[in-house]
């Protein structure tokens, strides 16, 4: 009988009764074949691997990392509360030491959801990793967390939420943004002025396969992780780098994913994208699960795998090797910030498009240049449907001065002409909307 | 007599009085029972579910009273009451309740139908039925066919079935997807003769 070297809890929640629309790639059948694969391979019969059901997240869990306008219920369906509850369950298992590792195989996914949420971007409404990390930091103090996002698409939502956070290291490996949604994720995006070098982007050329991918993990990700010394490693385990994925152009395999997991040794893995529901997900999920549990995964192989056909060209390997030489500098010697400073605040003006829901948001973000903490974050946001929104976020490392300023601005928000105002003060643990 | 003697022998080996030994055995038995019951309840309540509807409708099973049957049931009532802190009832004829139940239980029967519309296959393994169906076959048709076949099978075996005795316990239909496209539906219907008793015994 097989025994797990590392005990593993799998939260498997396929949400068989929810989809964006009947033929959308993020569809109800997405995890059906994975369920069959788990059963047929008897993964839950392995000593040390257990299946758990998700919790249902509460509103305050969502409001810790997010500003939701006009309200939580208007941007979240039941499915989002459950998928967020699934990752909270994963965190509980690990933090309460019931399991050494956990894998949340839940949907809908979340890594394109930014701090401010008006609807769905890239199939994501709520950033489930961020909900989980903030749940952990609320209950276990401000831990140092590393998020390694191995989805094929740039994790722009997670990047946005942790842009100013020096205690959360975000590394995204993805297909080059010049060739795929969301079109971002370049090395120059390296974190805000108070968290420089805490955001690392590794864009890879299309058709990168196992050799190139694993080289970048070994030479870029691992040395940075070794230096950062996180208390927790989270893997946003999107599976759309797979050679059979219908909406991406990479050539990664189930073996590659399993070896990546073995190298990374994440405490918690969270499923993100992955839309080859028959050709990839069953094998990749199995490979990741076995690797997490420390069980031999060498026999996991896709039936239609042809290694020669998917091997990368030499030019791809050369390009990646050069990237491996240069990219660690983003972390170890970040360039000085070019953030714009206006009367005591760092300012970003942005317009954000929600492709799934077709919403255009315009946003002004101000980060207080505070000498005591990473700083109060003030977001003014509007869409044609929901104008004049104000979000106030005091970070988990926040100081009393920032907390007080947030409170004053919150109380005066209606007077100041905002239609919707949300406070999320991690210091006083207040998560509410102005009445 | 004999058990008293047996306990005395065991007690001697342990260096205890017969009463002490018996009490320890009872308390150990209660501990084991409590652990097993609580593990069983945890397993029921933690049973994985895969749809949002099931999560939202979730009911937690928490016993409000205990029924105890079997030979020593009556003797165990006070012990169980103390161990579980719940009202415990040993019904009339508790010592032969299982036997009475076995006599009165209605014969039951179940049937599983699986359909793969991409292959056009229609299978009832329990009855050895394999045939072809058209690609447009639906879940409603499957439920109708499965219950009709089960009723016919019950008739064949001479098992009386009232309307409402046949329950559909699973009825799923999933699209099968290759790349971007739906290539067919995988339909699974499970129905059964509702378990129950044929008649009641008036004592």
**Min CA distance, A25 vs chain B (Å)?**
7
Mean pLDDT of chain B: 89
Give how far the C-alpha of residue A71 lies from the chain's centroid of Cα atoms, to the nearest Å. Answer: 22
pLDDT tens digits along A303-320: 989 999 999 999 999 999
Q: Is A118 a catalytic residue?
A: no
In chain B, beta strands by DSSP E: 66-67, 88-89, 110-116, 121-124, 129-132, 166-178, 181-193
ipTM of the complex: 0.78
Q: What is the pTM of this model?
A: 0.86
**Minimal Cβ distance to B46: which of A14, A17, A53:** A53
pLDDT tens digits along B166-180: 999 999 888 887 767
Q: What is the mean pLDDT of residues A145-167?
A: 98
Testing the interface with A: which of B50, B176, B178, B184 to mutate, by most A Cβ within 10 A?
B50
Percent of chain A with pLDDT over 70: 100
Query: What pLDDT sits at residue B196?
Result: 83
Lowest-pLDDT choice from A10-24, A185-199, A273-287, A349-363: A10-24
Query: What pLDDT sits at residue A270?
Result: 97
Query: What pLDDT sits at residue A335?
Result: 93
Instruction: Indicate if the pLDDT at residue B110 is higher than 70.
Output: yes
Please say whether the beta carbons of A315 and A254 come within 8 A.
no
Query: What pLDDT sits at residue B165?
Result: 87
DSSP string, A293-349: HT---TT---TT--HHHHPPPHHHHHHHHHHHHHTHHHHHSPPPP--EEETTEEEEE
Instruction: Indicate if the pLDDT at residue B142 is higher than 70.
Output: yes
**Minimal Cβ distance to A79: which of B52, B178, B182:** B52
More confident residue, B90 or B198: B90
Instruction: Indicate if the pLDDT at residue B203 is higher than 70.
Output: no
Say if strands B129-132 and B121-124 run parallel, antiparallel, or are unpaired.
antiparallel
Instruction: Indicate if the pLDDT at residue A127 is higher than 70.
Output: yes
| 31-50 of B, contacting A, C-beta below 8 A | 46-50
C-alpha torsion angle, residues A171, A175, A179, A183 (rounded to 10):
-20
Which candidate in A66, A80, A112, A393 is catalytic?
Answer: A112
Task: Give the span between the Cα atoms of B178 and A33, in whole angstroms.
Answer: 11
Instruction: Indicate if the pLDDT at residue A43 is higher than 80.
Output: yes
Instruction: Indicate if the pLDDT at residue A221 is higher than 80.
Output: yes
**Min CA distance, B178 vs chain A (Å)?**
7
Query: What pLDDT sits at residue B12?
Result: 84
Q: A367 pLDDT band (50/70/90 cuts)?
A: very high
Q: What are the structure tokens assigned to A137, written together?
A: 């930091």
Tell me if chain B has a CB within 8 Å of the CB of A44: no
**Min CA distance, B181 vs chain A (Å)?**
8
Task: Give the span between the Cα atoms of A103 and A86, in whole angstroms.
Answer: 10
Query: What pLDDT sits at residue A20?
Result: 78
CB atoms within 10 A of CB A349: 10
Tell me if chain B has a CB within 8 Å of the CB of A16: yes
Q: A19 pLDDT band (50/70/90 cuts)?
A: confident
A387-399 per-residue burial string, b: 16 or more CB within 10 A, e: under 16 = eebbbbbbbbbbb
Mean pLDDT of chain A: 95
Query: What pLDDT sits at residue A28?
Result: 77
């Amino acid at each position: 009988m097989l025994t797990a070297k590392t005990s593993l809890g799998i939260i498997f929640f396929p949400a068989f009764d929810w989809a964006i629309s009947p033929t959308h790639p993020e569809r109800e059948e997405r995890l059906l074949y994975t369920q069959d694969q788990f059963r047929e391979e008897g993964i839950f019969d392995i000593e040390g691997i257990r299946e758990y059901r998700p919790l249902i997240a509460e509103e305050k869990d969502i409001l810790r990392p997010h500003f939701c306008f006009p309200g939580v219920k208007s941007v979240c369906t039941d499915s989002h509360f459950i998928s967020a509850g699934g990752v909270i369950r994963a965190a509980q298992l690990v933090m309460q030491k019931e399991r050494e590792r956990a894998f949340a195989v839940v949907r809908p996914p979340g890594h394109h959801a930014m701090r401010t949420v008006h609807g769905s971007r890239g199939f994501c409404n709520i950033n489930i990793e961020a909900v989980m990390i903030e749940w952990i930091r609320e209950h276990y103090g401000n831990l140092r967390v590393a998020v390694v996002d191995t989805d094929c698409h740039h994790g722009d939502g997670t990047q946005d939420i942790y842009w100013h956070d020096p205690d959360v290291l975000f590394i995204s490996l993805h297909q080059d943004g010049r060739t795929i949604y969301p079109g971002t994720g370049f090395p120059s995006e390296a974190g805000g002025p108070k968290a420089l070098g805490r955001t690392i982007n590794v864009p890879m050329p299309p058709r990168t396969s196992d050799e190139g991918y694993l080289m970048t993990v070994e030479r870029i990700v691992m040395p940075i992780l070794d230096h950062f010394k996180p208390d927790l490693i989270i893997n946003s385990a999107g599976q759309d780098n797979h050679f059979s994925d219908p909406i991406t152009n990479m050539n990664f395999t189930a073996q590659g994913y399993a070896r990546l997991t073995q190298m990374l040794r994440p405490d918690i893995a969270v499923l993100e994208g992955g839309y080859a529901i028959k050709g990839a997900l069953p094998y990749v999920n199995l490979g990741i699960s076995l690797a997490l549990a420390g069980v031999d995964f060498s026999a996991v192989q896709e039936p239609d795998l042809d290694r020669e056909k998917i091997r990368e060209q030499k030019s791809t390997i050369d390009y990646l090797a050069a990237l491996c030489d240069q990219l660690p500098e983003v972390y170890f010697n970040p360039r000085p910030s070019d953030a714009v400073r206006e009367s005591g605040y760092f300012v970003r003006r942005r317009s954000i498009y929600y492709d799934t829901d077709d919403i255009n948001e315009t946003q002004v973000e101000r980060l207080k240049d505070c000498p005591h903490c990473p700083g109060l974050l003030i977001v003014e946001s509007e869409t044609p449907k929901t104008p004049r929104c104000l979000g106030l976020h005091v970070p988990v490392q926040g100081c009393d001065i920032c907390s007080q300023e947030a409170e004053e601005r919150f109380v005066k928000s209606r007077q100041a002409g905002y239609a919707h105002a949300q406070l999320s003060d991690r210091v006083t643990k207040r998560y509410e909307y102005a009445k | 007599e004999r058990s008293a003697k047996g306990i005395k022998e065991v007690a001697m080996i342990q260096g205890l009085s017969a009463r002490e030994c018996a009490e320890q055995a009872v308390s150990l038995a209660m501990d084991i029972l409590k652990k097993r019951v609580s593990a069983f309840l945890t397993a029921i309540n933690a049973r994985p579910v895969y749809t949002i509807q099931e999560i939202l409708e979730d009911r937690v099973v928490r016993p409000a009273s205990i029924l105890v049957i079997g030979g020593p049931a009556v003797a165990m009532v006070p012990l169980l009451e103390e161990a579980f802190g719940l009202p415990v009832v040993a019904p009339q004829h508790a010592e032969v309740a299982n036997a009475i139940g076995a006599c009165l239980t209605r014969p039951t029967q179940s049937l599983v139908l699986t359909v793969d519309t991409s292959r056009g296959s229609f299978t009832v393994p329990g009855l050895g039925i394999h045939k072809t169906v058209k690609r447009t076959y639906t879940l409603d048709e499957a439920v109708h066919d499965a219950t009709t076949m089960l009723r016919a099978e019950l008739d064949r075996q001479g098992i009386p079935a009232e309307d409402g005795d046949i329950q559909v316990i699973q009825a799923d239909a999933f699209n099968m997807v290759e790349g971007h496209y739906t290539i067919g539906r995988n339909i699974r219907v499970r129905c059964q003769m509702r378990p129950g008793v044929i008649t009641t015994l008036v004592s």
